[in-house]
Structure 1
Amino acid sequence: MTINQDKEKAYSEALHFAKTHYENFPVVSFLIKKELRKDIAIIYWFARTADDIADEGTISEEKRLQNLDSFQLRLDELLKGNFNSGFELALYTTIKERQLTVQLFYDLLSAFRQDVTKKRYSSFSELLDYCRRSANPVGRLILELHNIRNEDANKSSDNICTALQLTNFYQDTRIDFQKGRIYYPVEEWEKFGVREADFSYNITGKNLRSLVKFNIERTGKLFEEGRNLLKYLSGTLRYEIGWTILGGEAVLRKITLSDFDVLKNRPKLKAVDFVILLSKTPFIK
């Protein structure tokens, strides 16, 4: 098999990977331009692969950091034109042909490295800085793939991506705690009278519900502010981003309807939810 055949096989496997992994939004849906689907898929492969390395709970933190260092070295090398696999050539091709900002990939790796070592966040500003590197780069890369490169659009995209990341934290409150992580700012625990032990129960206590409610409302405002991005979009991309926003907001509603109990059950969108939200997408403003 030639290296170009390896590249096309990697793109194909990345597409399958993206389509079979659950998110609160469609990663590579039918709304994405056909010629861009493989590019989005290989970016998703890069991000999820690094995230999985950081999240490998069966090995030591030191080893996970070493593996992330090795993954970053491969990024360094592929950017120089040195490839060890079809996946690396595919990523290189996407970055070069679409003229993507390389720093955004390094920002993602920085966030995943932080995930290994940092388990608590003292303030919301600390958490926002994490989201700036863990979530916002993906939105900016999507815009760059569509040749949308202006700061106002980027800021609105950042609001959406940060809101999606925070929403995922609320969904995974119990799962993250079992991994030793809490993504609610410590200074806000104190404000609402929450103790670390409150995250270990099977049902969310009154004080923790109040903390979750506060965060849900704040995140809802980020989604609202992010809608400004829609004025820069047209066609199927506008549908895709609108669908994504509605998906994130739907998860927040599910948490609200559960009376902010994020420990008993993990709120999750079903296939029928995505269909209903898609029908509402043309009317989003």
Structure 2
Amino acid sequence: MRPDQYCKNKLKESKTNFALPFIFLNPQKKKALIALYAFCREVDDIADNCIEYEVGLAKLDWWHSEINNLYQDNPQHPVTKALLEPVRKYNLNQNYFIEIIDGMKMDLDFNRYEDFKQLQLYTYRAASVVGILAAHIFGFENKKTLDYAHNLGIALQLTNIIRDVGEDIRRNRIYIPLNDLKQFKIDENDFKGHVDPKKLINLMEYQIKRAKSFYSKAFSLLPKEDKNRQLPGMMMGYIYYDLLLSIEEGNLANILNERTQLTPIRKFYIILKTILKIIT
């Protein structure tokens, strides 16, 4: 199987929102983004699926070595073979790929985060770095675009955390900072039984407010001259922002048992709305 086909299969299997803006990219950039996504999927699956810590760590260490192979023009895996051309063409920094792997190592090391400072490092490695790499592939003139990508990545990851809070708890993972739980007088053991609905609503409203602040910062930082190039990332940003609003408007008292999703029609409406924002 050709490396690019391997990566396409990874994208197809995931059924992710990540694929939606690809239709607006030229073939070279599309291939580069699919290869980047496939890499993220490979290492993320290790963090999600490895039950034994040592096995997961060994697999991530292998990927660390494989990234070194990639930057020595000797990739062995289909994904790194697919990344070889984009790395050269878009000048993608090796350290960003290592940061992503380190983020997945954090998932092996921690299933709780003491405070937002610790969580923010995780969100940077797991999402902001991906956004920065994507911004390089899309292209930019103004370096402030990288600050936009950094903050948007945090916003997207926080939205995922809010949406998946119940699912994560059932997997014995709590990404909401423990000092936030303490602030709203919720013990993590409450999640195993009954959580006071009012306390839960207040906690989730606080998380939503924090995520909104990162969306606001991200969109304010994107320079006008780079908006056309960064359109695919903006589409993703507005889709996830709409998802966040849908969560906020839903039943937050039952968020542990519900997973908010947007319909395909809604997503395409947001994409069209984003295009209109750029051209008008």
TM-score (norm 1): 0.89
Could you say which residue in structure 2 is the equivalent of 1:126? Answer: 118
142-151 or 169-178, which deviates more: 142-151
Q: Which runs of 5+ in 1 are unaligned?
A: 1-5
Picking from 257, 273, 282, the partner of 2:275 is 282
Could you say which residue in structure 1 is the equivalent of 2:26? Answer: 33
2-structure distance, mates of 1:241, 1:101: 19
2-structure distance, mates of 1:202, 1:23: 32
| Aligned amino acid, residue 84 of structure 1 | Q
2-structure distance, mates of 1:111, 1:11: 25
Alpha-carbon spacing, 1:124–1:77, altered in 2? closer, same or farther (3 Å): same
Could you say which residue in structure 2 is the equivalent of 1:147? Answer: 139
Alpha-carbon spacing, 1:230–1:30, altered in 2? closer, same or farther (3 Å): farther
Could you say which residue in structure 2 is the equivalent of 1:49? Answer: 42
Alpha-carbon spacing, 1:217–1:53, altered in 2? closer, same or farther (3 Å): same
2-structure distance, mates of 1:85, 1:111: 20
1-structure distance, mates of 2:142, 2:231: 20
1:209 aligns with 2:201: yes
How many corresponding residue pairs? 276
1:60 aligns with 2:40: no
Alignment of 1:126-205 (within 5 A): 126-148=118-140, 150-201=142-193, 205=197
Percent identity between the aligned chains?
24
Deviations 1:191-217 (A, max 9, x none): 111110233358873212211111101
2-structure distance, mates of 1:180, 1:270: 29
Preserved CA contact (<8 Å) 1:230 1:238: no
1-structure distance, mates of 2:77, 2:248: 45
| Aligned amino acid, residue 23 of structure 1 | T
1-structure distance, mates of 2:99, 2:230: 26
1:218 aligns with 2:210: yes
Q: What RMSD in Å do the two structures reach over aligned CA positions?
A: 2.1
38-47 or 71-80, which deviates more: 71-80
CA apart distance, 1:93: 2.3
More helix by share: 2
Alpha-carbon spacing, 1:239–1:156, altered in 2? closer, same or farther (3 Å): closer
Alpha-carbon spacing, 1:201–1:150, altered in 2? closer, same or farther (3 Å): farther
Preserved CA contact (<8 Å) 1:19 1:27: no
Q: Which runs of 5+ in 2 are unaligned?
A: none
| Aligned amino acid, residue 113 of structure 2 | Y
1-structure distance, mates of 2:8, 2:211: 30
